[in-house]
Amino acid sequence: MTAPSTGLFISFEGIDGAGKSTHIAGLANAFKAQGRTVTLTREPGGTPLAEKLRALVLGDAMDPLTESLLVFAARRDHLVTVIEPALARGEVVLCDRFTDATFAYQGGGRGFDLDTLSTLERWVQGVPALADGAVRQPDLTIWFDLPAATAAARLADARAPDRFEAQPVAFFEHVIAGYAARAAAQPQRFARINADQPREQVWRGVVQALTQRGWLAALAQGGAA
């Protein structure tokens, strides 16, 4: 299999405590080892302006529309200044969360209006590189699915929680339902990984999602995570 020469946009999703980080770092190493240039980034954040908005969203009390507008404002800046240029250069963009997080957290968790989120999604993710009316979406979204109670137990000893991590288990059950609805609506874009397994097994699932699409060559036994 030859590595694709066009850009590849992969997002990673899941509730807080689902354990995305080590696998994202592992995939970045795996792609680099196969000669690809990797842009490793995150949302909210990924640019100086979006990181400022991230600090507000994670730290300051606000109503759900304000919260949604801020995450989409951060996304617009991130998309036009980091993600689109990297894709145009043919890079692999690994993004820790993208718009599915907004539908899951603001839509599912906060119960905010999904039609308004869809409108914002069309405004923010319409980019010149795409035909009129098309909306930038990840080529693949890896969803680390973990029961809310399990994630809560994992986070119990963590550092001081932010505004989302401090939410009760019931909030995260709604977030999971939000992810499930997005995955059901766009099943070809999603790879759901059962994150309630030993790390090595989760890693195998992550790698398989990429290799079966022909986007990553098979890794040496043991992998990178």
Least distance (Å) from ligand TMP to the CB of residue 216? 23
Least distance (Å) from ligand TMP to the CB of residue 66? 12
Least distance (Å) from ligand TMP to the CB of residue 222? 27
Phi, psi of 79 (to 5 degrees): -65, -50
- Is the peptide bond between 44 and the residue preceding it cis, with omega within 30 degrees of 0? yes
Interstrand relation of 38-42 and 8-13 (parallel, antiparallel or unpaired): unpaired
Least distance (Å) from ligand TMP to the CB of residue 97? 4
Nearer to ligand TMP, 54 or 192 (CB): 54
Question: Where does this chain bind ligand TMP (CB under 6 A)?
Answer: 16, 42-44, 71, 96-97, 101-102, 105-106, 164
In this structure, what token pair is assigned to residue 145? 């699915």
Nearer to ligand TMP, 87 or 101 (CB): 101
Q: How far apart are CA 54 and CA 164, in angstroms?
A: 12
> How far from each other are the two terminal CA atoms of the chain, in whole angstroms?
22
Nearer to ligand TMP, 106 or 125 (CB): 106
Nearer to ligand TMP, 101 or 183 (CB): 101
Nearer to ligand TMP, 123 or 213 (CB): 123
Nearest to 104 by CA among 9, 15, 196, 169: 15
> Identity (one letter) of the amino acid at 37?
T
In this structure, what token pair is assigned to residue 141? 């979204």
The β-bridge partners of 98 are: none
Compute the chain's Rg from CA coordinates: 17
Nearer to ligand TMP, 36 or 75 (CB): 75
Phi, psi of 214 (to 5 degrees): 75, 20
Least distance (Å) from ligand TMP to the CB of residue 165? 6
Least distance (Å) from ligand TMP to the CB of residue 58? 6
| Chain centre distance of CA 180 | 14
